[in-house]
């Protein structure tokens, strides 16, 4: 509230005018009040609410999935093709025929794996696929290859050969040129924490290769666990070797694992060894053990455990880990979230459904309203739920990039919206 002092004799009979006319004085006072009131209202006005501005909408009844590629591209997958759309204006950039199984985003290059129906390999990592690399913006084909590929630290890794003596090759993502290879190792593992590839050679030596060049950083003889087969594991701060053996019924089981400190390759304990970590948002990771032990929510920077993870699926978000009553598959109804700081449960997301996932991190939630039917859309941020607007259809699945979101609808459409800050 703004208070204006009119003086002690504001109610007295006015003296004869000696200066400007009274009308001018009133107008001046009114103008001053208006300015002060406007300033007061401006200071107290809430920040503009975000909204969804539709960029594009079209019928795509066979759309299987929408996905984000980098910060500026949306991919729409159908059984017949994959098409790329500019997230800034919703225009289609390019399309390629074929059904895709995986996509790797490597800078200006997108590498797409197209399925081969005739492939019946029981080892998915060894099944051939038509990998096609295209320019992100133009769709121009850079190269093609018959290989299943994984992306690690800006490098493409391919696998071939027998599962028990695989061949691994490292390729340049821009040209698919071979950088280096390891042939017929007993076992190997790509070490994402140390930018390395660990090879258990045929003679039993443990060899560390630089991931970019293949140069041998070090080689050591270590004790191996009992078993007819061994495999190398890499965790944040230790390297493990696990043994396997078939029982009398022909079922292969683990015989044990030996862990070695990453720095000295000296024997180390087995506590808090997680060979698989996935970003779960808000500075945390979901960490999974090599055996049937419980997964944990851990601090991404330090690796320190925060709490065990419950349920069969774990979905993180910028607003903290999401909790579910029915397993937590994408599309399930959220029960609560754990605050990013303190990890206390909050129910501001209760009743909302997960609409978009980037890895294991949820970005967009939806909540259906039946009168009239619509889906309310909201974005998860570090501060919690941020309402974006409503769509007069049911939404099936979404993908988001900074300042844009794309969704498939139950009406058989694909919609791309810009996320703005204008008031509706």
Q: Which two tokens stand for residue 77?
A: 């997958």
Closest to 315 in 3D by CA, of 284, 341, 269: 284
Q: Evaluate whether residue 238 is within a structural domain.
A: no
**Cβ neighbours around 411 below 10 Å, total:** 15
Q: Evaluate whether residue 286 is within a structural domain.
A: yes
Q: Evaluate whether residue 329 is within a structural domain.
A: yes
Cα 374 to Cα 50, 57, 153, 173, 396, distances in angstroms: 18, 16, 42, 43, 12
Helix spans in 265-331 (H): none
Transcribe 82-126 into DSSP letters: EEEEETTT--EEEEEES-EEEEEEETTEEEEEEP-TT---S-GGG
Q: Evaluate whether residue 350 is within a structural domain.
A: yes
Closest to 131 in 3D by CA, of 161, 91, 96: 96
Task: State residue 18's pLDDT score.
Answer: 39
Query: H/E element holding 407?
Result: strand 404-409
Q: Evaluate whether residue 137 is within a structural domain.
A: no
Range of the domain at 422: 52-89+281-298+312-424
Q: What is the mean predicted confidence (pLDDT) over 199-219?
A: 91
Global model pTM greater than 0.95: no
Sheet order of strands, 229-234 included = 229-234, 238-246, 252-261, 267-268
Which DSSP state fits 237? S
What is the percent of the chain with per-residue pLDDT over 70, rounded to a whole number? 81
Q: Evaluate whether residue 399 is within a structural domain.
A: yes
Q: Evaluate whether residue 359 is within a structural domain.
A: yes
Task: State residue 48's pLDDT score.
Answer: 52
Q: What is the mean predicted confidence (pLDDT) over 19-28?
A: 41
Using the Cα atoms of residue 236, residue 241, residue 247 and residue 249 in order, give the sign of their dihedral. Answer: positive
pLDDT one-digit tens code per residue, 161-203:
766 677 889 999 999 999 999 887 788 899 999 999 999 987 8
The CA-based diameter of the chain, rounded to the nearest angstrom, is: 117
Question: How far apart, in whole angstroms, are the C-alpha atoms of residue 193 and residue 263?
Answer: 12
Report phi then psi at 363, rounded to 5: -115, -40
Closest to 190 in 3D by CA, of 125, 102, 113, 269: 125
Q: How many domains does the chain have?
A: 1
Q: Evaluate whether residue 188 is within a structural domain.
A: no
pLDDT one-digit tens code per residue, 340-389:
988 899 999 999 999 998 888 999 999 998 877 899 999 999 989 999 99
- In this predicted structure, the answer to whether residue 338 has a pLDDT above a threshold of 60 is yes
Q: What is the mean predicted confidence (pLDDT) over 97-119?
A: 85
């Amino acid at each position: 509230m703004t208070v204006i002092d009119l003086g002690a004799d504001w109610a007295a009979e006015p003296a004869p005018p000696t200066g400007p006319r009274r009308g001018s004085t009133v107008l001046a006072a009114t103008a001053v009040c208006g300015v002060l009131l406007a300033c007061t209202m401006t200071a107290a006005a809430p920040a503009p609410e975000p909204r969804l501005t539709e960029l594009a909408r079209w019928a795509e009844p066979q759309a299987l999935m929408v996905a984000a590629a980098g910060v500026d591209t949306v991919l729409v997958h159908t059984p017949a093709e994959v098409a790329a759309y500019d997230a800034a204006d919703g225009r289609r950039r390019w399309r390629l025929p074929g059904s895709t199984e995986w996509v790797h985003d490597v800078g200006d290059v997108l590498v797409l794996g197209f399925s081969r129906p005739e492939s019946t390999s029981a080892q998915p990592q060894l099944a051939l696929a038509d990998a096609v690399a295209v320019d992100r913006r133009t769709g121009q084909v850079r190269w093609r290859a018959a290989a299943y590929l994984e992306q690690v630290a800006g490098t493409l890794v391919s696998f071939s050969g027998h599962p028990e003596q695989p061949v691994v090759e490292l390729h340049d993502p821009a040209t698919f040129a071979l950088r280096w290879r390891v042939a017929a190792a007993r076992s190997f593992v790509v070490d994402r924490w140390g930018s390395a590839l660990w090879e258990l050679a045929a003679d039993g030596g443990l060899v560390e290769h630089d991931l970019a060049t293949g140069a041998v950083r070090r080689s050591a003889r270590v004790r191996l666990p009992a078993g007819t087969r061994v495999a190398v594991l890499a965790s944040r701060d230790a390297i493990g070797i696990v043994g396997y053996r078939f029982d009398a019924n022909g079922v292969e089981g683990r015989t044990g694992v030996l862990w070695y400190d990453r720095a000295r390759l000296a024997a180390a304990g087995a506590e808090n060894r997680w060979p698989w970590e996935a970003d779960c948002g808000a500075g945390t990771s979901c960490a999974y053990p090599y055996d049937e032990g419980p997964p944990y929510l851990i601090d991404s920077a330090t690796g320190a455990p925060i709490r065990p993870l419950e349920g069969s699926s774990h979905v993180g978000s910028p607003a903290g880990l999401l909790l579910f009553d029915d397993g937590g598959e994408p599309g399930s109804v959220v029960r609560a979230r754990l605050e990013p700081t303190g990890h206390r449960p909050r129910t501001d997301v209760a009743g909302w459904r997960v609409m978009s996932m980037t890895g294991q991190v949820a970005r967009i939630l939806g909540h259906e309203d039946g009168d009239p039917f619509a889906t309310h859309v909201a974005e998860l941020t570090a501060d919690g739920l941020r309402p974006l607007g409503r769509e007069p259809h049911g939404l099936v699945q979404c993908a988001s990039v900074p300042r844009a979101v794309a969704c498939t609808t139950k009406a058989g459409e694909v919609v791309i919206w810009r996320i703005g800050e204008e008031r509706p």
